[in-house]
Amino acid sequence: MHQAPVGRGSMTVRRLARALSPLPEESLPGLLLRLAYRMERSPARAASLCGLIHHQNRLPGEYLISLPAERIGPFAAAARLNVEEAHALTLSSFAAVYPPLASVRIDGSRNTTASRKSWAASISSRYCAACLSGDGSPVQTLYGGPWKLRWHLPVAYACVRHRTLLSHTCPSCGGTPNRPTNTERQGLITHRTTSGLHPAQCRRLVPDVHGAPAVPCAARLDHDRQAARVPEADLSVLLALQHRIDQRLMCDQSTADAGQSASDRYFFPDLIVAAHLIRLSWPDGARYASSTSLADLIDRHVSSAADRRHTPEPDGRMAIAWDAPEDPAECAAVLVAADSLLGHEERDNAGMTDHVRPLATSAFSRSPANVGASLRRMDVSPAMARALLCHTQGFYRAGGHRHVRQRLPSRQSRFRIEHVPALLPQEWLSAHFDDLLSHWAHHTDWKVRHLRRVSALKLAEMSGGGTWPDCAKTLRIPWNTAQQSLKVIRQELNSHDLWSDFERSVESVASQLDWGTDRVHYGRRRELLSYWQVPAGDWAELCRDLEQFGHGATSPTRDTATVLIWTHVTQGDHLHSPMLDALRESGCSTRRLVASINQLRTPANRKGGKRELLRRLETYSAVLATACDQRADTAAIATTFSTPAGTNEAGRMLSPVARPLTGASL
């Protein structure tokens, strides 16, 4: 049966006269090896007859990941398969359940290094000798058992059915069966033009001792059952994890995206990142190895990986090996330790972060700066992402410039960033910071104000995520103000060794907010009062019988009242109130208004009429705050500022919320 030409030239493909049905879990290179052996042709010829030879006469390794659209139809027709069966021979069938495969990109112009570094796949396959020897059926007796597709995945290190670790080298020559020479780009099958070899024979060329041309090793991989030996207790642990891995790999992939829980979705990304942390922080993570023998395997891998690293980086540190351990026993030991670090099946437990963060800190301190950033960019679970955030003087930061992970909350919180004011309320400070302040010998009101602002930034980071500039923007704190507060507080807390006290105090506030039922939505208050001003009638009522204020330069004005009420309702800094911001934007001086506010707020001046006015403003603020909390629409409360320069006043939107106390007795 003729098919349309594929590739270059006028080549056509026909149905193979002696095709083979794929064995369960068989890989594309495994099927080609069996076809070639049955047809008494080389794998290259078998691939050519199936329309798989590349225009450069290559059999590309990337075909293991997925077949190009223009190749899949001719191949399926020639091999007497349907399209679904053809796709099932490639690792694309695992992409829905094994996330590293979904992100790797390999094409004809690239080698397969990227797939190994990302733990997506290895073109060289591990193997189980018992599986390769077949199940005793006639076809498997003649051509051997399947080279299983999953053996190309770094997380496949054991055969649960035969209770043995996989092998990765030839028992005769010691070479990796499908590793290319230094000058050969890695292809789907090594030495693809060599014919006459059984699918289970080693295809690696070995030099002749007498100087003759190299010949294939040809040792039977299915005859040797000498996989790495580990104590029976360790083997049970390794097989238990492999069984769980296999269950996730072999689940119904067509419904994986719809039915996956969060823990299933992040199982492999978290496991891989944890494996990196075990290796990078070793021996700090030795306690997660379940036995001394497994710890010895990890130690052997870490030591050999260090020996194989390239020249030092410019900063003197060594390059990092990202590939999964080649040796199945070493890989198994690392993954079991990683799984133990994650907490087995309790990966959504917030305690996972407490386990991972110390190893992450240790690993990043020993590695180039880009290592932490690379791990933080991976699509891992929220708990793992929080654990990978870099902790510096009380605050966390994510890797990667403006990366999406920067918005990840550093803590699992029930409250949201909208519940955080720009300045920690005084009552929160008194309730939760007494211990810190008792050890802070020379704190002043000015420094405490910085502490209140930094504490608010920390609460915003806990609940909303992001860097401190992100948090400052959300809380409407100017960047330079937030930076100055952080500078002051870091200097003070460092000099008195009070960072741990600070973090405990803020955590205490966060816990109260977590379990409180009357959280204030400060974000809504800030939004509703963005363009609000005390109505003229309300200001007149507030000043009734207080004629002694007069009209001095620092006498209270309607603008003064607006700022002070806004400060009380939003728990913000009066210097960053919308009223003062409007004056600055219009180019007008804020000196007179600030002086008026300071005069009224100065404790020594809180007497007589000023004290009474402050009491009335506080009462007014409480009513206005309640009105804000009961409304969700900004238009109902917004009014327009009177123009700072004194031009005509715009018409205000006078709503019941905008005028809560008009005509009422204060």
- Predicted pLDDT of residue 617: 94
- Structure letter (DSSP) for residue 201: B
Lowest mean pLDDT among 189-198, 583-592, 627-636: 627-636
Phi and psi angles of residue 294, each rounded to the nearest 5 degrees, phi first: -70, -40
- Predicted pLDDT of residue 183: 45
- Predicted pLDDT of residue 587: 92
* Residue 472: both structure tokens together: 């400052």
Q: Is the pLDDT of residue 595 over 70?
A: yes
* Residue 516: both structure tokens together: 């409180």
Taking only the tens place, the pLDDT of each residue in 10-38 is: 346 788 878 889 999 999 999 999 999 99
Q: Is the pLDDT of residue 400 over 60?
A: no
Taking only the tens place, the pLDDT of each residue in 243-282 is: 999 999 987 554 445 445 556 788 999 999 999 999 999 9
Question: Can you give the pTM of this predicted structure?
Answer: 0.74
Taking only the tens place, the pLDDT of each residue in 443-500 is: 888 999 999 999 999 999 888 887 888 899 999 999 999 999 999 999 999 888 888 8
- Predicted pLDDT of residue 413: 87
Range list of H helices, 127-231: 129-132, 138-143
Taking only the tens place, the pLDDT of each residue in 97-126 is: 999 888 776 554 444 566 777 898 888 899
Bridge partners of residue 397, in order along the sequence:
390
- Predicted pLDDT of residue 387: 81
Q: Average pLDDT of the chain?
A: 81
Q: Which helix (H) or strand (E) holds 173?
A: none
- Structure letter (DSSP) for residue 180: P
* Residue 366: both structure tokens together: 């020993």
Q: Is the pLDDT of residue 660 over 90?
A: no
Give the Cα separation of 552 and 565 in Å (integer): 21
